[in-house]
Amino acid sequence: MKCLCLIVFLAFVITQSYNDLEVEAASSDGFVSRKGVQFILNGEPFYANGFNAYWLMYEATDPNTRYKVTHALENAAGQGLTIARTWGFRDGGYRALQTNLGSYDEQTFQGLDFAIAEAKRVGIKMIIAFVNNFPDFGGKKQYMAWAKDKGQAVTSEDDFYTNALLKQAYMNHVKTVLNRVNTFTKVAYKDEPTIMAWELMNEPQCRADTSGKTLTAWISEMASYVKSLDSKHLLSTGSEGFYGQSTPQRMTSLNPVAANIVGSDFIANHNIDAIDFASVHSYPDTWFPKLDEKSLLDYLRKNLAGHIEDAQNVLKKPLILGEFGKPSNAPGYTQAQRDAVFTTAFDIIYASAQKGGAAAGALFWHLISDDMSNFRDAYSISLSEKSSTITIIGQQSRKMNLIGRKRKSGRKQNLIF
C-alpha cells in the first residue's frame, strides 16, 4: 500500500510539473505588441531579460548537433531568460542559408525551423535579424559580390543601400524568410508568435554618407516593406545606437569618436513609424581601450541613461539593449569586472522598467552551449558553468519577469533575492 501511495504521489508531482510548464508556455504564446513605451504580451506589460545566440541556425543545420540548441534554450529558460536574438541569414560559405541570390539550402532553413520550434517549446521569444552589416556570415560584402556577378557596377559595400538590384535582393530575402513555413511547427514565420520581432540588419552602418541620410532612407523604405508583408510582428533596426547629425550634442557627449563617421543616427533611424522600438549596443571596452574600469562603467551608465531618456521623451518607444558584455581577454580581467558590467547595465534597465519607462530589457552577448569550442570566445557565457555572473543574470530575469505581473495585479511587491 505504501508503495502504491508513493507511485500515485510521484505521478501527481510529475503531472503537476508538466502542468506548470504548460501554464508557463501558454503565458508566452501570444504576439508581443507595443503600447507607447511598453511592450505588451497577453494584455500585460512585457519586460524581459535575454541573450544573443547568433549560432542557433548554424548548429541546428546538422541534426547531430541540434542538442546544443536544445540545451542552450532549456538552460536559458531555466534562468528565466525570455528573449533570444539570433541571425536569420547566412549568405554564402559553409552551411549557407542563401547560397546565391534567391537560392536557399533547405537543410539550413530546417536548422532555423528547429531553433524557432525549440524556442517555442520552452517559452522563449526570438528577435531575428535579416542580414549583417559585416562580412561575418556573408553580409553586405557577399551581396556586393553577387551583384558584381550579375554585372552591376558596384564599388562600395554601402551600395547595398542604393543599388536597385541589391535593394530588391534584400527584399526578396525578407519575403522568403517571412513566408517560410516551419517544417516542425507547420506555421509560417510571419504568423509565428514565438518570433517577437525582426531586425532590418545587425548593426547597420553607411560610411559612404556620414550625414546619416542614406541609411535613414533605406531603413524607412525597408521597414515599410517588411510591414507590408508582416503586420503581426514588431520591427527594429538592429542599430548600435550611435547618434548622428540630428542630435549633434549627443554625438559629442555619448558617441565614441570613431562612431561619428559610420553614418548612423539613433534618433532619425528610429523616428520612423514602421520602427516599433529602439536598439542600442554597448561595448565600452572596444570603444575606449585605454580607459580604466571605473571610467568604463561611468560611460556605460551615461550612455544607457541617455538612450533611455531619448527613447522615453523623443522617440516615445521602448528600448532594448540588444548587445553588451565584458571580454575576458581585457587587460587585468577579473570575474568581478564582468559582474560589475552586468550589474550596472541590469540596474539601469530595471530602474527604468520598474517605473514603466522605456527600457524593456537587455540581451547579453553571448550565450553558448556546452561542447561549443568553435563559438567560444572572450564574451561567451555557458549557463551550465556556475559563476557569479550567471547568478546575477538569473536575479535580473526574475526581477524583470515580476514587473509585468505586479503592474497587472496592481499590488506592491517586495523583491528579495
Give 244's DSSP letter.
-
Classify 330 as helix, strand or coil: coil
Active-site residue, selected from the candidate residues 59, 157, 293, 323? 323
Scan for cell 533605406, then name that residue. 218
Nearest to 97 by CA among 66, 125, 132: 132
Burial 232-259 (b: 16+ CB within 10 A, else e): ebbbbbbbbbbbbebbeebbeebbbeeb
Active site residue 59: no
Dist CA 67 CA 29 (whole Å): 23
CB atoms inside a 10 Å sphere around CB 83: 25
**Three cell numbers written together for 364:** 547579453
Question: CA neighbours within 13 Å on the CB side: how many for 317?
Answer: 23
Nearest to 402 by CA among 144, 120, 47, 50: 47
**Three cell numbers written together for 207:** 560610411
CB atoms inside a 10 Å sphere around CB 322: 30
Active site residue 203: yes
Enclosing H/E stretch for 109: helix 106-122
356 within 8 A of 403, measured Cβ to Cβ? no
| Identity of residue 337 | Q
R_g of the chain computed on alpha carbons: 21
Active-site residue, selected from the candidate residues 157, 203, 240, 293? 203
Catalytically active residues are: 203, 323
